[in-house]
Amino acid sequence: MRRTTSTATSADAGTAHASAMTTIRRVAPYLWPDGQAWVKRRVVLAMLFLLAAKLVSVATPYIYKLAVDSLSNEAGSDPRALIGLGAVGLVVAYGLARLGAVAFGELRDAVFVRVGQRAIRRLAIETFTHIHRLSLRYHITRKTGGLSRIIERGVKGVDFLLRFLLLSIGPLILELTMVSVIFAVVFGWQYAAVVVVTIALYVWFTFTVTEWRVKLRREMNDQDTDANQKAIDSLLNFETVKYFNAESREAERYDSAMRRYESAAVKTGLSLSFLNVGQATLITSGLVIVMAMSALGVRAGTLTVGDFVMVNAYMIQITMPLNFLGTVYREIRQALVDMGEMFGLLGQPAEINDAPDAKPLRVTAGEIVFDDVHFGYEPTREILKGVSFTLKPGQKLALVGHSGSGKSTIGRLLFRFYDVTSGAVRIDGQDIRDVTQTSLHAQIGVVPQDTVLFNDTIRYNIAYGRADATEDEIVAAAKAAKIHDFVSRLPEGYDTKVGERGLKLSGGEKQRVGIARTLLKNPPILILDEATSALDTQTERSIQESLAEMGQGRSVITIAHRLSTIADADQILVLDEGRVIERGTHDELLEADGTYAAMWQRQVMEDEDFASPLVEFQGAKPDAPLTEREAARERNARAAPVG
C-alpha cells in the first residue's frame, strides 16, 4: 500500500508582496505582546511623552506672539495681564517651551527604543529560524545573495516603520489637527480652510506620486538584488574565476547588472526631484495665502503684529513636518514593500513537517528498510522507481551507479530532506515520517563529498558535531580522524581559522575535520556520500582508513564512485535510472559478470596500481594471513586485465 505526501509548492509561492495593512497587522503584536507587561508600559509611557511634546510644541508659537505684542505695545494686547510675565519673561518662557518640546521628544525615544529593538530582534530570529525550517528544495532553488538582501531590507524596514509610523506619522496628524483648530478658533474658518486644503492637496500629491515611485523603487531593488547576487556568486567562486582567467568576464557580468541598476536608480532620482518640487509648490502656496490674509488683517487693525508672527510660526511649524511627511511616507511605503517580501518569506510553508503525534526516534539496533520507495523532485520526473532494500544492524551497504541513477537521493530521503512520494523508509521498524525530525537527525551522521566548514576555528568546526563536547573529546575525535597531528603543528593549533568554506585547508584536511565532527556526534547510522571521490588516491586511501574505523559498529550507507572503496561492503546495490538492477557482495557481483563487473573492470584498467594496495587499504598487515573473502578479492584483482 502506497503512502503519499503533499507535493511541494513553488519556491517563490510565498514571496508575493503582502498588502500594507497585512504587514502592519503582522508587526502590531510585537509592539503590544501578550504577557509582556513591561513592553506595554513602555509603549503607553512613550505615547504620553509624545502627547506632551506636541502640546508644548503647539503652545510655543502663541508664547512667541505674546512676546512680540509685548514688545510692539499693540493696542488691545496686554500679555502681562494675561499671564503675568513681561517681554523678557515671555522670551524665557518661549525658550523653555522649545526646550520642553525637544526634551519630551527625546524622552519618548529613550523609552521606546528598547521596545523597537526587541521587536526587531524577535522578527530577525523568527525569520532566521524559519529559513532553516524550509526544505532543501527551497534552498537549492533560491539565490543566497538575494535571500540575504530580502532579510536585511526587511529588518531595516521594521526598524524604520516602528520609529516613524508610530512616532512621526501619528504625532504629525495630531499636530496638524491642533493647528487647524487653533486657526479656526483664533483667526476664523477661512484660515483653517486654507490650511486644510493645502494639507489635503499636499497629502494627495505626495501619496499619488509616491505610489508611482514605489514601482520604480521596486525595480531598482530587483536590480540591486541581482547585482549583489552576481557579486557574491563571483566571490564565492574566486578560484574558478582565476582558473579560467575570467576576471574581465565577471566584471562585465557585474557591470551589466549594475548598468540596469543605474538606469532604475536614475529614474528613481528624477521622480524624487519631481516630487520635491511639487511638494514645495503646494506648501509655499498655502504659506503665502495665509500670510497675505494675516497681513491684510494687521493693516485693517483686526490682527496684531503678534498674530501675524504667530500665523507665520504655525505655518512654518507645520511646513517642516509636512516636508518630512514626504520623506517619511516614501520610506514607510518602501519599508512596507521590503517587509512584505520578508513576511512573504515567513509565509513560505515548510515542505517537511513533523506529524502532530510524532515521537522521538528510538534506535535500538540500526536496521534500515526502504520499502518500495518512489520519489521525484518534480511530479513529472520520477527519480526512484520502487527501490527496496534492508540494511541489517552494524552492516555496510554500498550504492553504486552512474550519475543521476538516484544514489544521493536515497541518502537525502533517509535524512528526510524530502518525503517519499510513495512507499516507506523505516529505521528499526519506525516510519521516519512518524518521528520528530530533530531525533532523526540526531541519529544520523553524514560525511558529504565536499565538506563545507564555517569561517571559524578548527575547534569550532569539530565541536559542531556536539555543542557540549569537552576539549578532550574534541581532541579525541581529531585523533580518530587522523587530523590531530596536523593541527598540532599549526601556530595557532585548534584556534586556527579555516577561512570561508574552509578554503585555507586542503581537500583532505577539510574531509578529516568533517570526519572528526561526525565522530564527535557519534551517531548509530552513517551516510558516506562519495566522501573521497574528489581526493587524490593517496589521500583517499588514508581517509578511507578513518572512515572504515568510524563505521565499526554502525549501520553505514556508502554512496560510492570508486568501487575500490566499497569492496568490503556487506551488500552492494547497483542503481540504474532509479531502479536496483543488481545486488550482492563484491565477490557475488563479480561472479555475476553484469553491470558491476563491467564497472569494476573499467576502473581497474584506469588504475594500474590498484591491485597491490587493495589488501593494504582494507587494513591487512603484509605478513597476516588473508581471510577467505580477502583472498578472493585479491585473486579477482589480479585476474582483472591491467591496461
DSSP 380-400: TB-SEEEEEEEE-TT-EEEEE
396 forms bridges with which residues in the sheet? 556
Q: CATH 3.40.50.300 region(s) of the chain? A: 357-443+540-602, 445-522
User: Has residue 426 got a pLDDT over 90?
Assistant: yes
pLDDT score, position 371 = 93
Q: Is pLDDT at 332 greater than 80 in this prediction?
A: no
> What is the reported pLDDT for 6?
38
Question: Please, are residues 581 and 574 in contact by the beta-carbon 8 Å criterion?
Answer: yes
Average pLDDT over residues 481-486: 86
Locate CATH 1.20.1560.10 in the chain: 13-346
**pLDDT digit string (tens) for 353-410?**
888 888 999 988 889 999 999 998 888 888 899 999 999 988 999 999 888 888 888 9
- Comparing CA positions, the residue from 475, 464, 552, 547 lying closest to residue 512 is 547
pLDDT of residue 369: 93
Average pLDDT over residues 184-188: 83
What CATH number does the domain located at 445-522 have? 3.40.50.300
The pLDDT tens digits of the residues spanning 492-531 come to 888 888 877 677 888 778 888 888 888 888 889 988 887 6
What number is the average pLDDT over the span 37-60?
86
pLDDT value for 79: 46
3 state SS of 390: strand
Q: Specify the pLDDT at position 537.
A: 67
Which residue bears the cell 589480479? 638
Convert the pLDDT of each residue in 568-624 to its tens digit.
889 999 999 889 999 999 999 999 988 999 988 888 887 654 444 444 444 443 343
pLDDT the model gives residue 574: 92
pLDDT at 435: 92
Identify the three-state secondary structure at position 449.
coil
**pLDDT of 213 over the 60 cut:** yes
- What length is written for the chain? 643
Predicted confidence band at 66 (pLDDT cuts at 50, 70, 90)? confident
Residue 534 is predicted with a pLDDT of 53
Closest among 630, 604, 444, 441 to 524, alpha carbons compared:
444
Residue 21 vs residue 454, higher pLDDT:
454
pLDDT, mean over the chain:
78
Which range is least confidently modeled, 455-459, 544-548, 552-556?
544-548
pLDDT at 260: 87
- pLDDT of amino acid 583: 92
- Asked if residue 550 has pLDDT above 50, the reply is yes
| 153 vs 608: which has the higher pLDDT | 153
Which one has a higher pLDDT value, 270 or 34?
A: 270
| Bridge partner residues of 369 (DSSP) | 390, 426
pLDDT score at 116: 78
User: Alpha helix (H) ranges present in 246-304?
Assistant: 247-300
Lowest mean pLDDT among 312-316, 535-539, 541-545: 535-539
Q: Which contiguous run of DSSP H or E holds residue 612?
A: helix 611-617
Give me the pLDDT at residue 165, please. Answer: 65
**Confidence at residue 633, expressed as pLDDT on a 0 to 100 scale:** 45
- The pLDDT-based confidence of 140 (bands split at 50, 70, 90) is low
pLDDT exceeds 70 at position 229? yes
pLDDT in tens, 263-298: 888 988 888 888 888 888 888 888 888 888 888 888
For the domain spanning 13-346, the CATH number is: 1.20.1560.10
Residue type, 394: G
- Mapping DSSP onto H, E and C, the string for 131-180 reads HHHCCHHHHHHCCHHHHHHHHHHHHHHHHHHHHHHHHHHHHHHHHHHHHH
Q: In terms of pLDDT, which residue wins out, 30 or 241?
A: 241
- How is domain 357-443+540-602 classified at the CATH fold level? Rossmann fold (3.40.50)
Task: Using DSSP bridges, classify how beta strands 396-401 and 555-559 pair: parallel, antiparallel or unpaired.
Answer: parallel
Q: How far apart are CA 89 and CA 471, in angstroms?
A: 73
Question: What average pLDDT does range 225-244 have in this prediction?
Answer: 84
| SS3 sequence of 404-438 | CCCHHHHHHHHCCCCCCCEEEEEECCEEHHHECHH
- Whether the model clears a pTM of 0.75, i.e. scores above it, the answer is no
Q: What pLDDT, in 10s, does the model give residues 119-129?
A: 778 877 777 77
- What is the average per-residue pLDDT within 50-71? 84
C-alpha cell at 274: 519631481
316 near 308, Cβ under 8 Å? no
Higher-scoring residue by pLDDT: 238, 130:
238
